[in-house]
Structure 1
Amino acid sequence: MKKVIYVFLLAAITVACKNETKSESTADVEVKELISKDVSTSIYPESITKVFDAHGGIDQWNKMHSLSFSIVKPEGKEVMTENLKTRAEIIDTPTYTQGFDGETLWVNEKDGQEYKGKPKFYKGLMFYFYAMPFVLGDDGISYTETEPLVFEGKTYPGVLISYEAGVGESSDDQYKIFYDAETGQMEWLGYTVTFGKSEASPDFHFIRYNNWQTINGLVLPKSIDWYNYENNLPTEKRNTVEFTDVVISEKAPDNTMFLKPKDAKVIE
């Protein structure tokens, strides 16, 4: 969609320049000045753009090609690496490695330990929660205002995010992003879980985002807090997930790292 807007603008500018009695050099300068500006933010509503800007800007995010981080779990460290353009992914843990090369999802068990998780559900899950709010700039998303969240006396404006049919594994999923009205910084995420269900879920789960770090010009989570919920509202904190060893780069990861090992199981 961004490419379409770019081409449309370029065509419109070209026609305008031909119809005006300006010198060729002046027209060329105006065209170059306009198309040198990234127009990607023009496709987003003002509210979500405010949130993107508070976290370094969607244009800065779009420059990046790779993201990696670690999560410490009881069974050991989980290391995730993502190609931000293809969404190829690898998750390495002490007991298994899960990978997705853009087409094939696979799991490679270690030391004969059976993996009993849900690979399709877990694919991209922690990446998506970590890469907030920028993953909400993906194609196929619609935005509408939603009722603000009031928590401990403070009101947070909200944006409801929904997906076009066929987008992602669970296009019926919905998200609500709540932000600080003054700074625009993201504070809360409400989300539904529809994976494996025949219809959309009415229940929103909640994550609080209030611990940030700046890396390569982007304000990204240092940790996030899952909250219990009641009547589609957060109640008290349940647990915290911390992210370490965070690297986000304009350099693309080596695609060979996502390829299925010979002995790995393909997940259909």
Structure 2
Amino acid sequence: MRKVFLLLIFLGHFSCKEAPRDNADKSNPQVLSTKIEQSKYPDALERVFKAHGGLQNWTKKKVLVYDLPKAGFTETHTTDLKTRMDKIVSSNFSMGFDGNHVWLLDKTGNYKGDPVFYHNLMFYFYAMPFVLADDGIIYGETTNLIFDGKSYPGVSISYHSGVGTSPKDEYFLHYDPQTYQMAWLGYTVTYRSGEKSDNVKWIRYADWMEVNNIILPKAITWHAYEGKVIKEAKNTVHFENVTLSESLKPDSFYAMPVDSKSVEMKQE
């Protein structure tokens, strides 16, 4: 009888030790999935997202709109943050991506650029660092970037084969080691050629503003460079009338206008 009594005490003690773990799992069923999701990104990049308002906050936004002043006219860029459909409207032309085709409306015939390359180009520069949370990305390490005697740690970004128009593009995000705000973006361009490039261009991110609790660029500046040696500023692009909405625009907003034409990638 004494052995049975001791066995019951042991089993009761074992059950009491296991119960808290079981209760914790049931009371917070998202703990495991959250840890798995966060493990997709390097710790430094997670901190950069947080410094700019947080990835969870960004994912609540549906539509980004901003004006891009040009010489003599202004472009208004609109992007659906989930589908990546987009539209650019100006007094000279309009273009966009309807989910299937890139289109151009240019009644004067004066637009000389490549809509396939340009329609979402500025969006990817502007929506940094959050576009670096997209699917299909490979994260790695890179050496620090030195500018004016200050060292900026970084994260390298490449893409799995078949992701996007230029999967061989590479990006290098460098951040302020004290604030974790994004400071520099290095990038290569492989569009049209399809070949990897060692020519890394550099953009400085030093002018920020808050839009609906997200920190976004007010302006970005391209610099001259020799490898990773950054030289003088060359060209600054300003962003105005920026809005981040949690309300979607109808798909018809991005649809090809009647007089527009579908365009394909230009060949070199």
TM-score (norm 2): 0.87
CA contact (8 A) 2:145 2:228 kept: no
Residue 257 of structure 1: aligned partner = 253
Q: Give the structure 1 partner of residue 180 of structure 2.
A: 184
Give the whole-Å Cα distance in 1 for the aligned partners of 2:229 and 2:261: 40
Q: 1:94 aligns with which of 91, 95, 113?
A: 91
* Corresponding residue of 1:60: 57
User: How many residues are matched?
Assistant: 247
Aligned CA RMSD, in angstroms, stands at 2.0
Letter in 2 for 1:225: T
Report how far residue 178 of structure 1 moved. Answer: 0.5
Provide the rounded CA distance (Å) in 2 between the counterparts of 1:143 and 1:58: 17
Q: What corresponds to 2:11 in structure 1?
A: none
Contact persistence 1:70–1:80 (CA under 8 A)? yes
Question: 1:205, 1:232 within 8 Å by CA — same for their partners in 2?
Answer: no
What is the aligned partner in structure 1 of residue 72 from structure 2?
Answer: 75
Aligned positions of 1:170-181 closer than 5 A = 170-181=166-177
Larger radius of gyration, structure 1 or 2?
Answer: 2
Q: Is the 8 A contact 2:223 2:235 kept in 1?
A: yes
Q: Is the 8 A contact 1:95 1:113 kept in 2?
A: no
The offset of 1:114, in angstroms, is: 3.0
- C-alpha displacement of 1:40: 3.5
Alpha-carbon offset, residue 198 of structure 1: 3.5
**Matched position secondary structure for 2:38:** helix
Cα pair 1:205 1:229 within 8 Å, conserved: yes
Spell out the pairing of 1:1-268 with structure 2 (5 A cutoff).
22=19, 26=23, 29-32=26-29, 34=31, 40-110=37-107, 112-268=108-264
Query: SS at 1:43's partner residue?
Result: coil
Change over 3 Å in CA distance of 1:109–1:57 after alignment to 2: same
| Cα distance in 2 between the residues matched to 1:231 and 1:88 | 34
User: Is contact 2:166–2:194 with CA below 8 Å preserved after alignment?
Assistant: no
**Structure 2 residue aligned with 1:5:** none
Displacement after TM superposition at 1:29 (Å): 4.5
Identity of aligned residues (%): 44
Unmatched 5+ residue regions in structure 2? 1-16
In the alignment, is the contact (CA less than 8 A) between 1:41 and 1:59 conserved in 2? no
For normalisation by structure 1, the TM-score amounts to 0.87
Whether the aligned pair in 2 keeps the contact of 1:67 and 1:246 (CA below 8 Å) is yes
